[in-house]
Amino acid sequence: MAAFGIEGDSPDDAVRPAALDASSGPTFSFELYPPRNDAAAEALQHSLARLVAVGPEFVSVTYGASGSSRGVSLDVLRHLLHNTDVLPMAHLTCVGSSYAEASQLIREFLDAGVTSFLALRGDPPEGVTEGEPFLGDLGSAGELVQLIHRVQAEREPFVQVPVPGFPGARRIVGGPKVTIAVAAFPNGHPRSRSIEQDLDTLLAKEAAGANLAISQLFFEADEYLSFVERARAAGITMRILPGVMPVLSAARLHRIVELSGENLPIQLLRDLESADDPAAVGIEHATRLAQRLLDGGATGIHLYTFNRHEAPLAVLGAVGLLDSARTPA
């Protein structure tokens, strides 16, 4: 497959700040997956240009189980680094890696200039039955969070910065930090025994060094808002971004529910099945959901895009998160 198009000579040309911040108001961000063939790569470049043009807080790029999309994922991340002003976020999982292999991969992303990660435990690869070992040396997302911080600290333990008022003088400070996001599960992880276990797990991820959480899918705003309330009561302080996916067909909804383990939203399914324009129904549902989340205090919306720009931008425009001057025609 042809490489995803990139330009630029050096990752040093595209240093990005590690901290993500919502102090200026609600933000929005996007998730992409690496293209699987030349036609998909061409389509992604078109949609990515539209998504980048509206100024997202960050764009995350998924990573296939056991490194199946490693090179293409890195190509997309490099494209974001060299050709845009958007912060790229790399997905990493614990699946099938030794400590040495995981450390090498983390270093490869850092050397490319990537300073933001989404650390995931990961699901069993296709063909692995429930109960079979599949994780490798890293047993949890919290361990992966710690490893990312450790690799960064070993790679760049300190830097020299100027001393104000003393020309030519420099002092040594700790090296640059990385942003590490983790997953949150408003309706519980499929393998979790209780919501309390999910909250304990998320608290442990934060204690390990995670500084952002992104929720898995849900279909009702109260599911996310009540989860955040319980998370705060449990002592979790990091931002928890809601993940929203415009569902554009009944077939896609069935597939999403199958993969995520969420309960099937019956009314949404009926509306999609009976509509002359199912995509419009999915956009309307996602818009209502996003608006209720923002009204309830969410600091941003993270949109799962399926590598398309039309539905995510329609949702963001409808809830007022797009600056009309920057919205593509």
Q: Which of 11, 33, 89, 34 is nearest to 56 (CA)?
A: 89
Distance of CA 327 to the CA centre of its chain: 22
* Given 31, 143, 206, 262, the catalytic residue: 31
Distance CA 193, CA 33 (A): 30
Q: How far is Cα 4 from Cα 32, in angstroms, rounded to an integer?
A: 13
CA-to-CA distance for 66 and 224, rounded, in angstroms? Answer: 30
Q: Which residues contact 82 (CB under 8 A, 6 or more apart)?
A: 6, 7, 8, 11, 13, 14
Sequence-distant (6+) residues with CB within 8 A of 259 are none
Structural Rg of the chain based on CA atoms: 20
Which structure tokens are listed for 99? Answer: 């400590």
Task: Judge contact between 255 and 320, C-beta under 8 A.
Answer: no
229 catalytically annotated: no
Cross-strand pairs, 89: 60, 116
Q: Of 240, 250, 190, whose CA–CA distance to 212 is shortest?
A: 240
Q: How far apart are the first and last CA of the chain?
A: 31
Which residues are part of the catalytic machinery? 31
